[in-house]
Amino acid sequence: MDTHTHSDPAGCAARASGWSRLLRGALLLCAALLFALAFSISVDVAYRWFAGRSIVGVYEYSEVLLVALSFLAFAGVQGSGRQLNVDILTSIVRGRRKRGALSALDALAALVFFLVLAWTAGLDFGEAYELGLMGNGIVQIPMVLPLGLVVLGSLMMLITLAGQLRGALACLFGRDGRAPEAPAPRMDDGAGS
């Protein structure tokens, strides 16, 4: 798949090494989950080949694994600047302030989306927890599991976006009223590069 990516085009985000390490750890966990997904489905295929029936629960748990794999990775993707975007404007805009403004806009828009997502998922999580709601399928998985992953992933994303916004605003307004001379390091410390 072709990705066209950028984040923090001004290079304004502040270094947050502790948070970066956590995001890196989340991405590594997702990588491990991906292997788990591949192995469980393969074993299921082999079992079906020999025994003529599927292993109960593989389908349902695989679906939860994909929720984890996606939502725990979103913040890492944001932190490493690998999200998909159209850079018609960002590629021609010069000057740290202008690029900082675009970065701030990017972060703000994503903040709105993930705030809505975290809020609605949080409400549903509370309801699912109280009522003990279960998912559909042969093996019923508690709904708090996928919903909890959505809430967790969205919160991680919100923290990452807040960091990006803070860096972009600092870049945009510059404490001494001038644009910083040299680009500040990105939050990314090499995850997935």
Partner 1 sequence: MMQALPSLLIASLVLFPLMAAGVQVGVVLALAGMAGSAYLVGGWQGAVALPLIQSLDVTGSYTLMVIPLFIAMGSIAERSGITTDLFLAFYRWFGHIRGGIGVATIMTCAGMSSITGSSLAVSASMSKIALPELRRYRYDDRLSLGSIAVGGTLAIMIPPSITLVLYAIFASQSVGQMLIAGILPGVLLTALYLLKIVVRCHLTPRLGPGGPRHSLAERMESLWKVVPFFSIVTVIILGMLLGVWTPTEAAATGLVLVMLLGLMRRKLTLRLALDAALEAVIVSASIMLVVIGSLIFSNFVAMTGVSTKLADFIISLQLSPFSLFSLFVLVYLVLGMFLEATSILALTVPLALPIAVATGWDPVWFGVILVCLMEVAAITPPVGLNLFVMKASIPGVTLHSIYMGAMPFCIVNVIVVFILYVFPDIALLLPTMMSR
Which residues are at the interface with partner 1 (CB under 8 A)? 1-6, 9, 27-28, 30-32, 34-35, 37-42, 44-45, 59, 62-64, 66-67, 69-71, 73-74, 76-77, 80, 82-91, 102, 105-106, 109-110, 112-113, 116-117, 119-121, 124, 146-147, 150, 191-192
Min CB(53)–partner 1 separation in Å? 14
**Three-state SS at 188:** coil
Min dist. Cβ of residue 173 to partner 1 (A): 18
Contact 106, 10 (CB under 8 A): no
> 45 vs 139, which CB is nearer to partner 1?
45
CB-wise, 86 or 182, nearer to partner 1? 86
- For helices 144-173 and 17-51, angle between their N-to-C axes, nearest 10 degrees: 150
- Choose between 17 and 116: whose C-beta lies nearer to partner 1: 116
Taking the least distance from each CB to partner 1, the nearer of 56 and 105 is: 105
What string of DSSP letters covers 93-154? --SHHHHHHHHHHHHHHHHHHHHHHHHHHHHHHHHHHHHT-B-SSSSPPBTHHHHHHHHHHH
Computed from CA positions of residues 185, 186, 187, 188, in that sequence, does the dihedral angle turn out positive or negative? negative
- Min CB(178)–partner 1 separation in Å: 24
How near is the Cβ of 64 to partner 1 at its closest, in Å? 7
